[in-house]
Amino acid sequence: MARIPLLEETADPGLAGVIDRIRRGRSGALLNVYRLLLHSPALAQTWFEHNSAVRFQTVLTGRLREIVIIRIAHLNAIPYVLSQHVPALAVAEGLTADECTALEDWRTFAGDPGGLFDARERAALAYAEAMTLSSHVPDDVFAAVRERFDDREIVELSVLCGTYIMHNRVMNALGIDLEPEENRGR
Q: Which domains does the chain have, with CATH numbers?
A: 9-57+179-183 (no CATH), 62-174 (1.20.1290.10)
Q: Could you tell me which of 60, 53, 55, 70 has the C-alpha nearest to residue 149?
A: 60
C-alpha span between 46 and 131 (Å, rounded): 23
Residue 171 banded pLDDT, cuts 50, 70, 90: very high
Chain centroid to Cα 20, Å, comes to 22
pLDDT at 169: 96
pLDDT at 110: 58
pLDDT exceeds 70 at position 114: no
How confident is the model over 35-71, as pLDDT tens digits? 999 999 999 999 999 999 999 999 999 999 999 999 9
pTM of the model: 0.93
28 vs 84: which has the higher pLDDT: 84
- Angle at the Cα of 158 from the Cα atoms of 154 and 162, rounded to 5 degrees: 175
C-alpha span between 175 and 2 (Å, rounded): 4
pLDDT at 1: 77
pLDDT at 112: 56
Average pLDDT score over the chain: 93
